[in-house]
Amino acid sequence: MGKDAVAQTQFLQRKDLQTLLDTLIAAGYHCLGPQVRDGAIVYDVLADVSHLPVAVHDQQAPGKYHLHYSQGLRSFAWANGPLALKPLLFSAREVLWSAERDDEGKIQFVQVKPAVQKTAVIGVRSCDLAAMRIQDQVFLEQQYKDENYQARREALFTVAVNCSHPADTCFCASTGDGPTAKSGYDLLLTELDDGFLVAAGSEVGKQIFIQLPLEQASDQQHFIAGEQALHAEQTQTRKLPQAGLAEKLLANLDHPRWQEVAERCLSCGNCTMVCPTCFCHKETEQPQLDGRSTEHLREWDSCFTQGHSYIHGTVIRDDTEKRYRQWLSHKLATWLQQFGNSGCVGCGRCISWCPAAIDLTEEANAIAGDEGD
Amino acid sequence: MLAELVDIVHFAEAGPVEPDARVDIAFVEGSITTAGELQRIQRVRANSRYLITIGACATAGGIQALRNNANVRDWMAAIYAQSEFIDTLETSTAIAEHVRVDFELWGCPISSQQIVAVIRALLFGVVPLQEQDSLCFECKRQGNVCVLVTGQQACMGPVTKAGCGALCPKFGRACYACYGPKENANPDSLSQRFQGFGLLPDEIAHKFLSINNSAPVFAEAGKKAKENGHD
């Protein structure tokens, strides 16, 4: 945290957290916050802070996610669940346009605009802010802007929370995307035992910030927050290879490890769908039975499907070895050529939510590790 | 609406009965279990421009195909007092084992949407879309929490075709693989995972040898699991 940010950081007592929620709701935001559902922490509609996962903790490992409970007051003492911001901005399934044939046989195309409401998400982690920045690049900063993404993005208010309890699968410290949020949020919270340090990161954030019952934060509170951040960083054990990762991956396209991982990989696509930066999609027609009208549907797709590499009558990546290699080498290497940065933010979701318990960091290290340098 | 686009000439349950009519599309359900069906499916094929199977029985044998790995005479004797009156083949087999099949509608049961989509595509003169991707896509697009990862449940989703809307996982249950094997499925890896969850070889075999037991990928996986149990 820079000096200015420290100066502008204030303290919100835990009993006043509801005021933050009420202020956002009064400002017209539809509020989403973390809640326990079906054995995981997911974002859901939040009107009452008592619904937050108080004293809930997660245990994550390759292919495993488990919640447990303790005594305590903290609402954010856990690492990310399966859902990132991605589903809120890049819809998993949406109609982009429809077409209708009139009596003369002429076809009219109509753009279908999504119903967008001002939405505030409470509890966003730094890895997901970094991922949102990457998806902004993909959807807003290329030749064509994705209007649906843009509409939702402009309506989004993020209340970030610095990560104090990374999971065993987290490696954001190694990608440089966490555990402390540096930018990209509207409000930033650091949870302490007795309350929250609060900072504003944008003009709209400041509008909410000034309405909160804040107190001056003590040196002691700043010190604890700093220690907490350091601890969150130091407890992470997984990491990506640092030196020349992209070059090494691309120089090892025939490495035997690709075949070994393909024997375990289910090619099911879970990793790409929980990945907060993956943006691949497919588009299909949904014609009405009478043949006069159709809806053009866009859905999340994945480099693990056959359709993804079907080009002119041929499936280019016809086996799992080629598909896994495409996923890993795009994410960690060719993404760099395409967008100027890595496509991985170290959230670890692809590790926890892989039904075959494959660990991306283990594969990357096996193929392009620092060992032997 | 459908009846305005096509003439339904044979559909015994709905009224029209004309089993030997020449048709553009024949939808066939059920597997081949008797000598009479064996002959009939040849006539249906000869009379149809497109032959399309409906559901797990016609497409992958169905539950009754489980007897293919047992002695059907012993089974009949165990159940019926006078089994000599039962007219049946030794096996119960998918339609594609006997005649050319133009398109398969997987699922148990299939959805009406699948029928409508295939008719619409053929009316347009285009090849119908075949779902190939894993059930996991439907779960993740809906925001379902993965039951395999959170509950270590033996979910068949990662090797199963999408199409049902992830009905079971949506309610916290593991997938039963009603829609058959997905393209490029890896049952060996999933079997190993199930073993790690504590399933016995026979339990793993049952996961694959269920409604779609005659789908080659599942048949092979079931056989392997059984063999592991006998090692």
Residues B139 and B95 reside in one and the same domain: no
Beta bridge partners of A196: A12, A191
Residues B86 and B162 reside in one and the same domain: no
Of the residues A266, A280, A322, A353, the best mutation for testing chain B's interface (the one with the most B CB atoms within 10 Å of its CB) is A266
Structural domain contains residue A360: yes
End residue of a domain, out of B63, B94, B124: B124
Mean pLDDT of A258-270: 98
Provide the domain count of chain B: 2
- Rounded Cα–Cα distance for residues B118 and B130 (Å): 9
- The per-residue pLDDT for A218 is 97
Query: Which structural domain range is residue B223 located in?
Result: 135-230
In tens, the pLDDT along B42-70 reads: 999 999 999 999 999 999 999 999 999 88
What is the torsional sign of CA B27, B32, B36, B40? positive
This complex has an ipTM of 0.95
Residues A168 and A249 reside in one and the same domain: no
- Rounded Cα–Cα distance for residues A367 and A365 (Å): 5
Closest-CA distance, A203 to chain B, in angstroms, reads 32
Contact B141 A92 (CB under 8 A): yes
Of the residues B4, B140, B170, B190, the best mutation for testing chain A's interface (the one with the most A CB atoms within 10 Å of its CB) is B140
Residue B15: how many other CB atoms lie within 10 Å:
8
Whether the CB-CB separation of A206 and A20 falls below 8 Å is answered with no
A372 — pLDDT class (breaks 50, 70, 90): very low
pLDDT of residue A228 exceeding 50, the answer is: yes
- The per-residue pLDDT for A242 is 87
Q: In this prediction, what percent of chain B has a pLDDT beyond 90?
A: 88
Query: Which structural domain range is residue A79 located in?
Result: 3-90+116-234
Q: Among residues A167, A232, A208, which one has the least CA distance to residue A20?
A: A208
A7 — pLDDT class (breaks 50, 70, 90): low
Which chain A residues have a beta carbon less than 8 Å from that of B2?
Answer: 289
In tens, the pLDDT along A161-215 reads: 999 999 999 999 999 999 999 999 999 999 999 999 999 999 999 999 999 999 9
- The per-residue pLDDT for B230 is 78
Q: At what angle do helices B201-208 and B216-230 cross, to 10 degrees?
A: 170
B124: contact with A, CB 8 A cutoff: yes
Structural domain contains residue A96: no
- The per-residue pLDDT for A6 is 52
Token duo for residue A154: 């402009």
A264: contact with B, CB 8 A cutoff: yes
Estimate to the nearest angstrom the gap between the alpha carbon of B73 and the chain centroid. Answer: 25
Residues A158 and A284 reside in one and the same domain: no
Whether the CB-CB separation of B71 and B90 falls below 8 Å is answered with no
Residues B19 and B119 reside in one and the same domain: yes
- Rounded Cα–Cα distance for residues B121 and B118 (Å): 5
B123: contact with A, CB 8 A cutoff: yes
Q: Which of B129, B145, B190 sits opposite A82 (nearest CB)?
A: B145
Token duo for residue B134: 């894993």
Whether the CB-CB separation of B203 and B212 falls below 8 Å is answered with no
Residues A174 and A249 reside in one and the same domain: no
Mean pLDDT of A18-22: 98
Residues A314 and A174 reside in one and the same domain: no
In tens, the pLDDT along B163-175 reads: 999 999 999 999 9
- Rounded Cα–Cα distance for residues B185 and A7 (Å): 56
How are strands ordered across the β-sheet holding A93-101? A107-111, A93-101, A293-300, A281-287
Estimate to the nearest angstrom the gap between the alpha carbon of B47 and the chain centroid. Answer: 24
Q: What is the CATH number of the domain that holds B42?
A: 3.40.50.700
Which residue's entry shows tokens 């080659």?
Answer: B216
- Rounded Cα–Cα distance for residues A46 and B3 (Å): 48
Q: Which of A268, A289, A299 sits opposite B134 (nearest CB)?
A: A268
Global pTM reads 0.95
- The per-residue pLDDT for A23 is 98
In tens, the pLDDT along A119-165 reads: 999 999 999 999 999 999 999 999 999 999 999 999 999 999 999 99
Q: In this prediction, what percent of chain A has a pLDDT beyond 70?
A: 97
